Chains A and B, each alone.
Chain A
Amino acid sequence: MAEKSEAGCARPTGGLVGEPDQTQEREVPQPTKETKRMIQVGKAAPDFVAPAYHQGRFTSVKLSDQLGKWVALCCYPGDFTFV
């Protein structure tokens, strides 16, 4: 688990590891080239880092820090949804 993060007023965001920080500069979209990454079983999971809440603390999670363990990554539409 990564170190505790301070809770500032800015909303923390994460992103893919190795991608340019889009909060700094916005890339001009290239209409000619479709570079959407697709996931595939048997292939590497895209690495990312994301802010997280865990057991009373704000922290962050980097997928590649979990190497050596089995990971179940789950996502859902939103907090306080019913299912």
Chain B
Amino acid sequence: MSVDSVFVHKMWNDHELSKMVEGGVPFPMLSDGGGKVGTAYGVYDEQAGVENRGRFIIDPDGIIQGYEVLTPPVGRHVAETLRQIQAFQLVRESKGSEATPSGWKPGKMTLKPGPELVGKVWEVWKTDMASD
């Protein structure tokens, strides 16, 4: 989503993005001329008249589970977004009985919050797991 019109979206997709991704952009490219939606999400820069780089994870109930907003010169890391969605999906499927510690990736161990885990996280989770 950007403040560009759907016509500009089409030109960008057809003339540039389709050369990066076969078949073009697979998801809808939304137009927010005037920034009304961006304002509600806190990403619209009124002075510049454009939206900052924002990314919102919205669950199947329409609840915002996470977001990230960056100023224009730095791009996102899509793999991190996917990792977060996978983590939120796991938590949802476990009905909140499991939590994903820092550095969690699919296949890595989760934590089961409860009285017996209090003060014992150090036994199962090591600091190098935060970034490996």
Q: How far is the CA of A40 from the CA of B56 in the complex (A)?
A: 11
- For the complex, give the distance between the alpha carbons of A54 and B9 in Å: 9
Interface presence of B29 (CB below 8 A): yes
| Residues A14 and B36 in contact, CB atoms below 8 Å apart | yes
**A11 B5 Cβ-Cβ under 8 A:** yes
Tell me which residues across on chain B come within 8 A of A46, comparing CB atoms.
37, 40-41
Provide the residues of chain A in CB contact with B31, threshold 8 Å: 12-14, 50-53
By beta carbon, the residue of chain A nearest B51 is A75
Interface magnitude class on chain A: 35 or more
Q: Is B91 an interface residue (CB 8 A)?
A: no
Q: In the bound complex, do residue A70 and residue B73 qualify as a contact, i.e. CB atoms below 8 Å apart?
A: no
18 pairs of residues in contact across A and B, judged by CB atoms under 8 Å:
A7-B6, A11-B33, A12-B33, A16-B37, A42-B64, A50-B37, A51-B30, A52-B6, A52-B9, A63-B62, A70-B58, A71-B57, A73-B58, A74-B1, A74-B54, A75-B32, A75-B53, A76-B72
Q: A81 with B55: in contact, given A44-B64, A51-B30 (CB under 8 Å)?
A: no
Contact of B27 among A11, A38, A54, A58 (CB under 8 A): A54
